[in-house]
Structures are given as structure tokens and as C-alpha cells.
Structure 1
Amino acid sequence: MNNENSKQSNEATALTLMADFPKIYCPLVRKIFKIDPVIFKKLGSRYKLKAPEVYLVINKVNPGYEWVFEDPETIAVEKLDGTNIKIKTEKGRLVAVQNRMNIIDPLKVVGGPAHIVDGILRSASKDLIKPDGEQVGELIGPKLQGNPYKLESHEWYPFEKAITDLRYKSFHEHERNFENWSSWFKDHLHSRYFTKRASKLGLTESVFAEGVIFYNLKRKAENKSWRAKLRRDMFAWFYEPEIPVAGYDPNAEYSDEDLKLQDLKD
């Protein structure tokens, strides 16, 4: 192999590290509450808990996120339950794949995460991938999060498509406050993605969404914070009564010291 061919080969196999997808914060303040260690050992894995504690929202707006509650330009979009995958394409070629800060080699067909590449290729066949640039989306399917959408194969779903297709259109019809959102998330937050799929397949069942991403594209254009997230597992009722949360009162006053871990957890 001559030097030129060797150079091209090295460039083709080089793996590019892209910037990580920015962390998205909750529009409500959260606080850690301890749970019974015995119950944690029994039920922790079922509820995806890593320690005998839960990190719950309280009835207090996270400073800087007033726009989620007040700005009419804010929309609510389903948060898909999978794993975050960022891709980069150049002239229609897939040149980089990343799961957060973990680089994925799309050419590693033996011993590699084939389901990730499979999901990306399936999305490409649906014209969901741009020929050039970076895109971020959620990989969903059989190997991820217990496959809540009952998919037979994996799919990479771009966040840009989620904004247009998975929006909760009735969001503007209700007052935005803790009580309303708690009730909505507990009893009525059904997956828009699964509902669309069920309709095509003639299914009558429904599936709860993992949560919501709040977007404000006007604020994005102004280089201001424009995304926030809220999940069902951020409310105490998600765990109770199986996992009692002692001392939880969403309307109680907590000191800044009690709330200082807000930025340290997902």
C-alpha cells in the first residue's frame, strides 16, 4: 500500500469525538429523599434506583426556568425512553456515531453494538438522516429500557422530528403548575410515539411516556436556555405505595443547603 492509500485508510478509520449533548435540567427544583434500604434491596432494580434514595420534584420553580411556565412559545414534546445517540454525516456517509461521550465505531461488525448501527440504517431508509452535519436523537428498541414501545427492531428517532411529530398539542389548554402536571403525568401522559404506532397496527392499548421535554425555539434563536425536562419518575406517586417516601411534602420550605445537589444528579 502506498503512502496516499495508507493516508486515506487512516482517515477512513479515524473516530471523531463530537461534543457531548448538553445536559437538560428540570424546570422544578428537586430534592433527595431517603427510602428504606430493605425495600430498596427488594424493589430498587425494578424502579431503576442506584441507591436507597429518590430524587423528586417539589413545588418550586427552578431559577432561570420561569419561561417553561410563563412563555406562550414553550411547547411540550414526548421524551422517548431509549439512549441518546449523536451522529455525523458527510456527503451521505456516516462518519461518526456517539453515545454521550462514548465513541461508537460503525464499521465494527464483530463485537460491536450492531443494534445502534441497525437503528441508524433503518432511520436512513425512512429519510430521517440529513446528508451532511450532526444530528442527535434517541435510539429505541428491543435492547433498550425494556422496549416500552414493543418494537421488533431498533430505530433512531431524531429530536428534530420529535419536536414536530411528538408534540402534546393540548399543552397550552391548561394552566402550567405543579398540581396540574402531577395529575397529567400520573394519569394522562400517554406516549405519542406508541399511540401513532398502535393506530397503524390496530392496537387498542396505551403506554405511558417516560416524560416530557419542554422546548422554546424562540429562546434558542436568542441564545438563551431553551430546553427543560420532566419525567414521571420525578414524582413521589411513581414509587408509592410500594416504596414509601417518608417526609416528602412538595409544598414544604427547604433550605438552600438541602437543595444544593440539584446540579449534581441527572
Structure 2
Amino acid sequence: MEERKGRGRPRKDPERLARWTPPEGWSRLVAWISPEEKKALKRVAVEAEVSVADLVRALAGGLACGAITHEELIGHVRKGIQVMEKIPTLFERDGDFRVVNRPRVECAWVFDGEGTPTEKLDGTNVRLTVRAGRLVRVEKRRNPSKLQKSQGIKDGWYVDTVEGAAEDKWVLAAARNTDVTSWPDGEHSCEALGPRIQGNPLRLDDHRCVPFNLKVPVYQGVPRDYVGLRDFLAELESRFVPGALAEGIVFHHPDGRRAKIKRKDFPVSA
């Protein structure tokens, strides 16, 4: 007779876990979350190689012992939502993935004249952590794979760069070549640019990072209709590198919402 296998759960002793008794004084916290939020928690837990319960307890423990203050936590949550949330394109797209003259509903505020237009830089999204004017951490954005997208994971997240890794060489070069001495402490989402990044459309001579919250150029008199934006972007000069064409525009609403449009989004014959 074949030996009966276990139930296949990723636990060494599921029966013992099922009878786990919390320490005296502990209480159970229950929260209803959406399927997307549940997947996000599981994703972080998998990368940290812990259970979701341990992940939540670690966060609570960090708050309890003062490793992170509630002000810092709130700040990170707000910045993370703004940065990692996919920025919608102003118009709907056709079968060739080009925009058509049909505004997206969630971008109505742009067409109502709200939001500040800034230059969209064509590079690699990274996040630099600064403490006392020193660079202490460099992360890069990771987008979900095709499989992950099919599982409902739509938004990207940040992972650490690895010293010596070929794929991180130029991102790290851009980070180290960026003067952060005057930057406030915190995590700064940036665009890494340079000769070996994304084809270097701005024709830069060196690698550098541009923080979204500190140095991104602002444009005045930007049109807010399909034809106007198409013609405006066709000849828009970069404020960051005069003489080169800007990739596009990102509109920033005071409440944190953003929307984008790129020159190459429009059909060639539009």
C-alpha cells in the first residue's frame, strides 16, 4: 500500500498550526479587503518569504517599538499610492494602440482645466532613499509579468538593485552621479536617464536621476484637446535638455491624481 501523502499545504505541520493558541493578552484583528488588496499583500509576503499574518504583525510590531512612526507610515502609504498607481493616458486607444479622439472618463479633470502639466521624461523609473544628504538605497520598478497580469496584478512595485548585476549597472551609475546632498530625507521616485538607458532620446552625455517631486520642468499654455495636444507635442522642446524633443506631458492634480500623453501615442497620420 502506498504511503498516504500530506495535504500539500506549504506548512511543515498544518495540524499544529491549526491548533495555535495566541499568547495571553493578544487579540484578533479582522479587516475586509478587496481581491486586489489581498493579492498585493500576498505578493509582498511571498517576496519577504513570510506569511501574510507575519507581515501584518511585523508592521504592527514596527509601529509599537518605534522603528517607524505613524507619520512616516502615512507618508510612505500616500507616496506609494501616487507613485505606483498606473498613470492613465488621456485618451482611449484603438486596435493599433494609438490614441483616438475620445477622452477617458477618469481624466475628465484635465479637460476641465485642472492640474499642472510637466515634462514626461523617457527613462527608467527608480526610487532613491536619502538620509542626511546621502544616498542609502536604490530601487528599480518591476512591472508584473504576463502571468501576473492574468492573475489580476496590474500595478508595478519596487525591488532593490543589486551591486554588480549587469541589468542594474546603468541605473546605479545614474543614482551615484546624482547630487542628493540638498534633498530632504525620504524616498524619492525618479527617472533614471543617460546614454545607456532607453536609447537616450534626450542625447545626454552622462547618467543621472531626476526626482519627480523636485526638478521636473513645468509647461505653460498646454492645450487640452486631442488636436491641440497632437500638434503641441509634435514640436515640444524639452525643458530639461533644450534642443531635444520632449517625450510627452504628465498632468498633476493637487489631490495626487495624474494623467499622461506622449507624442508617440498619436497615429502618424493624425
Counterpart contact for 1:128–1:158, Cα < 8 Å? no
Counterpart contact for 2:202–2:245, Cα < 8 Å? no
Offset at 1:112? 6.4
Offset at 1:235? 0.6
| Offset from partner CA, 1:96-150 (integer Å, 9 cap, x none) | 32211363346x247562322221222225x4633x2111010000101221222
| Offset from partner CA, 1:127-181 (integer Å, 9 cap, x none) | 4633x21110100001012212222210000001244xx111232xx4x211111
Change (3 A) 1:111 1:211: closer
Aligned position for 2:124: 83
The 1-side partners of 2:134 and 2:111 are apart by 41
Quote the RMSD (CA, aligned, Å): 2.5
Aligned position for 1:22: 85
Aligned position for 1:97: 138
In structure 2, which of residues 236, 243, 249 is the aligned counterpart of residue 212 of structure 1? 249
Change (3 A) 1:158 1:24: same
1:1-16 correspondence to structure 2 within 5 Å: none
The 2-side partners of 1:92 and 1:148 are apart by 30
The 2-side partners of 1:180 and 1:110 are apart by 44
Change (3 A) 1:228 1:110: closer
The 2-side partners of 1:128 and 1:232 are apart by 33
Counterpart contact for 1:85–1:137, Cα < 8 Å? yes
The 1-side partners of 2:104 and 2:136 are apart by 38
The 1-side partners of 2:219 and 2:138 are apart by 30
Aligned position for 1:129: 183
- Counterpart amino acid of residue 229 in structure 2: W
- Counterpart amino acid of residue 236 in structure 2: L
In structure 2, which of residues 238, 242, 245 is the aligned counterpart of residue 191 of structure 1? 238
- Counterpart amino acid of residue 238 in structure 2: S
Offset at 1:75? 1.6
Counterpart contact for 2:128–2:137, Cα < 8 Å? yes
- Counterpart amino acid of residue 193 in structure 1: F
1:154 and 2:207 equivalent? Answer: yes
1:179 and 2:227 equivalent? Answer: yes
Counterpart contact for 1:98–1:104, Cα < 8 Å? yes
- Counterpart amino acid of residue 134 in structure 1: E
In structure 1, which of residues 55, 62, 70 is the aligned counterpart of residue 104 of structure 2? 62
For residue 178 of structure 2, give the secondary structure of its aligned residue in structure 1. helix
The 1-side partners of 2:197 and 2:178 are apart by 17
Aligned position for 1:223: none
Structure 2 segments unaligned to the other structure (5+ residues): 1-78, 143-157
Counterpart contact for 1:79–1:210, Cα < 8 Å? yes
Offset at 1:212? 0.9
Number of residues of Structure 1 aligned to a counterpart in Structure 2: 175
Counterpart contact for 1:78–1:162, Cα < 8 Å? no
For residue 229 of structure 1, give the secondary structure of its aligned residue in structure 2. strand
TM-score of the superposition, structure 1-length normalised? Answer: 0.59
For residue 170 of structure 1, give the secondary structure of its aligned residue in structure 2. coil
The 2-side partners of 1:234 and 1:140 are apart by 21
- Counterpart amino acid of residue 118 in structure 2: V
Change (3 A) 1:64 1:103: closer
| Offset from partner CA, 1:6-58 (integer Å, 9 cap, x none) | xxxxxxxxxxxx9672211112111222xxxxxxxxxxxxxxxxxxxxx1111
